[in-house]
Amino acid sequence: MADKVFPSSKPTATAAPGGAAAPTTTTTTSTTTNGGTTKSHLINPTARLPYRPQPHNRRRNYRPRRNYCCCCCFWIILIVLVLALLVAITGTVLYVLYRPHRPSFTLASLRIHRLKLKTAADSSSSHLSTLFNLTLSSKNPNSHLSFSYDPFVISCVTSNGDVLIGNGTLPAFVSDGKDESTFRGVTVASSSDLDAETVNNLRPELKKGNGVSLKVEMDTKVTAKMGGLKSKKVGIRVTCDGIKGVVPKGKSPAAANVSGAKCKVDLRIKIWKWTF
Span 86-107, pLDDT tens digits: 988 987 887 777 778 889 999 9
Q: Which residues contact 220 (CB under 8 A, 6 or more apart)?
A: 149, 150, 151, 152, 153, 170, 235, 236, 238
Question: Does residue 27 carry a pLDDT above 60?
Answer: no
So what's the pLDDT on residue 20?
Answer: 46
- Is residue 73 assigned to a domain? no
For 113, residues 6+ apart whose C-beta sits below 8 A from its C-beta are: 131, 132, 133, 248, 253
56/58 Cα distance (integer angstroms): 5
What's the confidence (pLDDT) of residue 203? 85
Residue 224: which domain range? 104-267
pLDDT of residue 262: 92
Residue 42 lies in a domain: no
Model confidence, pTM = 0.66
Query: Per the structure, how many domains does the chain have?
Result: 1
Asked if the structure places residue 244 within a domain, the reply is yes
Judge whether 209 lies within some domain: yes
Confirm whether 8 is domain-assigned: no
Q: Is residue 145 part of a domain?
A: yes
Q: Does the pLDDT at position 186 exceed 50? A: yes
* Within a domain: 177: yes
120 in a domain, yes or no? yes
Higher confidence at residue 7 or residue 87? Answer: 87
* pLDDT tens string 28-87: 444 444 455 554 455 555 656 666 666 555 555 545 666 778 888 889 999 999 999 998
